[in-house]
Amino acid sequence: MLDIKLIRNQTEQVKAALSKRGNYDLQPLLSLDEQQREIEQQRSELQARSNEVGKSVGQKIREGADPKGDEVAALREEGNRVKHQIGELEPQERELKAQMEEILLMIPNLPSESTPLGKREDDNVEVRRWGDEYIPAKDDRLAHYEIGEKLGIMSFERSAKIAQSRFVTLIGAGAALERSLISFMLARHTGAGYTEMLPPILVNSASMQGSGQLPKFAEDGFKCDRDDLWLTPTAEVPLTNFHRDEVLEADQLPINYCAYTPCFRREAGSYGRDTRGLIRLHQFNKVEMYKFVHPDHSFDELEKLTRDAEDILQQLKLPYRVVELCTGDIGFSAAKTYDLEVWLPSSDKYREISSCSNCVDFQGRRANIRFKAAGKKGTQFVHTLNGSGLAVGRTMAAILENYQQPDGSVKVPEVLQKYMGVDAISAG
């Protein structure tokens, strides 16, 4: 969430930054802010007068005035009148603040100055590529879902019978490969200094709001109607809110977490896209990396986070590229984002497998997560960063397509063989 003081005091700069993302009219918010501050000023003046009257009553009585006399009664009458006026203003102020918050919750983060200017995905900027030597020769490569079904390691048809479309059941070596990828990813990240977490996958609305999913993306979520609980769309949600409403110490930062969770999304805005395979499911597994950092270091930490996600792909010897998202394509909560896109031979193109973002103080403000430096007055909001490390199903898809062999088997990447216990996946 943006700071209302920033919007009020640097209106033109905020408008200019938001215009890089789309059209956002700040005037309704500024009008409400002006009304709220006027009422706040009136209430403050009335409260000061109420305090003066209260002191005057005590002073008069101490000086010998009759507690039931006209002079004291007049003061008390004035005090009651002032309190009544305050009582009328307070609900008006609360309502204005609620209306302001409703608007603020729908305004996205400001893009960083270094984020490339653009309107759509085509305007993203490629930063680097890795692993061109591992791109397999162009031949009649099967798509990952065709490989998986031929090998008997996944079933989409039976999953639709169990649930609906966009679900998968992994079988035998398919389930083992998924489990091995999760274990491998967590081992690499904990080895790099992240603390492993296993958070709840049901989260409340306050958690969804704190991380930026609500209210804007409510239609993409799965909600439990009888409870104020949602199936988490990403481990970013519980990890953000692990420190909600807390004040951390500066020497605790950076805090690095990683977590495996199942994730659940309706994919409401992707009708007709990737209807087959593992790319866009309603339920999928993901290993997430998350950082709480000092504001002075957040952009350096974004580079580290991105390199930690890249490490997984390099260990698996999967070719990929890093793309810096433009202002029109970055996520709602992000100020700057790098996407990692893995090579999928059947599509003859790179596809997103990780998104690494610096949200600066946007989530810290929404979830009220602050830190205090030793010996200094006041607190600051932490900066938060998140990144997939990686989306497990998409990683499996990339392995099946890049490691498929002429005989129909799939070679197991060397780093996964100790987890799988085999060096290849074959039919039967």
Domain ranges of the chain: 27-104, 121-425
Q: How confident is the model at residue 373 (pLDDT cuts 50, 70, 90)?
A: confident
**In the structure, how many helices (H) and strands (E) does the chain have?**
13, 18
Mean pLDDT lowest among 136-140, 398-402, 404-408? 136-140
- By DSSP bridging, strand 247-249 and strand 380-381 are unpaired
At residue 30, the pLDDT reads 98
- CA-CA distance, 45 to 6, in Å (whole number)? 25
Q: Which fold has domain 121-425?
A: BirA Bifunctional Protein; domain 2 (3.30.930)
Question: Residue 417: is its pLDDT beyond 90?
Answer: yes
At 263-274, the pLDDT tens digits run 999 986 666 677
**From the annotation, which residues make up the binding site for ATP?**
265-267, 352-355
Q: What percent of the chain has pLDDT over 90?
A: 90
**From the annotation, which residues make up the binding site for L-serine?**
234-236, 265, 288, 386, 388
Sequence-separated (6 or more) residues with CB below 8 Å from residue 245:
367, 368, 369
The H-or-E segment that residue 9 falls in is helix 4-9
At residue 1, the pLDDT reads 96
**What are the tokens at 413?**
């990447």
- CA-CA distance, 354 to 234, in Å (whole number)? 12
Mean pLDDT, residues 163-189 taken together: 98
At residue 73, the pLDDT reads 87
Residues with catalytic function: 265, 280, 352, 355, 394
At 304-349, the pLDDT tens digits run 999 999 999 999 999 999 999 999 999 999 999 999 999 999 999 9
At 187-239, the pLDDT tens digits run 999 999 999 999 999 999 999 999 999 999 999 999 998 999 999 999 999 99
Mean pLDDT, residues 86-114 taken together: 97
Predicted structure pTM score: 0.94
